Amino acid sequence: MNEPTLNYVLCPGSAAPSPPVGGGPASTPQHRMAYWEWNATGNPVHPHVVICVHGLSRQGRDFDTLARGLSQHARVVCPDVVGRGQSDCLADPMAYQIPQYAADMLALLTQLHQQGPITTLDWVGTSMGGLIGMGITGQPGLPLPVPVRRLVLNDVGPVIQWLALQRIGQYLGQLARYESVQQAADAMWAISTSFGPHTPEQWLELSRAMVRPLPDEDGGGMTLHYDPAIAVPFKAMTQESAAAGEMALWQLYDHITAQTLLLRGAQSDLLSSETAQAMAQRGPRARVIEFEGVGHAPTLVAADQVAAVTDFLLAGEGGAAG
């Protein structure tokens, strides 16, 4: 079966001295960001690159189902945003914000372009990954190898509902100890039912990369993969600061020139239908697809969700879906 390779890129910003995930020296003003690379095209540096970026407390293996299919047509790269998965943690918790994440993605794109020229660049972003994508695509003049051609925003937009942020804040940063992946999966499902229907097998597969082993001296077992400090800037947010951020996000959105597809869980509490409608009428005038029975956020595992993204990204390409 087609499987990804794990690679790293050095990014600006200090790593934590003793990160609970990842590794790397604390003495340099850099940190390592891990990324999972999928490529079944036969060309290790295929010029069509698709970047897939996950949500707030997730990691790059979330995209396995989507990436496995897309990798027949493109070089698919799924980073673990810093502080998550196999990436380093940051020395300053307040650096866990979109500007740092966007800077890391620019470093990643520079490295990929050096390895083999990128001629076509697409972006798939779930929730936080979509906000990073808006930062990348909505700022003319950024040092991108090529402009982003097609952008998928998965259940996120310039207006983020405050009640959804409060809901997420209730569990973000609360790392428990688990005896098995199944136990961890069960606990995560209890707060993730808004992701919509999944078979037990699908959810267990999504959960495998969500945990890391604990040292024997700490009693063994496992815990969630991310640095709990990612919650620090999130919990420092106020309703007023969130509202002020909306204006900046709309400015970014209105500057996007990439063809844009907006996915929305029909029961999403984070992206309202009113915001989705506004996004269809301004800026890049996103095409909107809603998935019934799903809230925040579609996991891009179900066949109809995968098809929506794949058809959009590969439309017009010989032998591709669309």
Query: Residue 19's pLDDT is what?
Result: 44
Query: Residue 21's pLDDT is what?
Result: 47
Element (H, E) at 235: helix 231-236
What CATH superfamily classification does 5-163+244-314 receive? Alpha/Beta hydrolase fold, catalytic domain (3.40.50.1820)
Query: Residue 318's pLDDT is what?
Result: 54
- Residue among 319, 313, 317, 320 at smallest CA distance from 51: 313
Beta sheet of 259-265, edge-to-edge order: 5-12, 30-38, 75-79, 48-53, 120-126, 148-154, 259-265, 287-291
Query: Residue 218's pLDDT is what?
Result: 75
Per-residue exposure over 236-275, b if at least 16 CB sit within 10 Å of its own CB, e if not: eeeeeeeeebeeebbebbeebebbbbbbbbeebbbbbeeb
How far is residue 83's CA from residue 112's CA, in Å, rounded to a whole number? Answer: 21
pLDDT in tens, the chain (322 residues): 689 999 999 999 888 875 444 444 445 589 999 999 999 999 999 999 999 999 999 999 999 999 999 999 999 999 999 999 999 999 999 999 999 999 999 999 999 999 999 999 999 999 999 999 999 999 999 999 999 999 999 999 999 999 999 999 999 999 999 999 999 999 999 999 999 999 999 999 999 999 999 988 878 899 999 999 999 999 999 999 998 899 999 999 999 999 999 999 999 999 999 999 999 999 999 999 999 999 999 999 999 999 999 999 999 875 444 3
CA dihedral 290, 294, 297, 299 (to 10 degrees): -100
Query: Residue 28's pLDDT is what?
Result: 58
**Which sequence spans correspond to the domains of the chain?**
5-163+244-314
- Residue among 84, 90, 55 at smallest CA distance from 168: 55
Q: Are 151 and 292 in contact (CB under 8 A)?
A: no
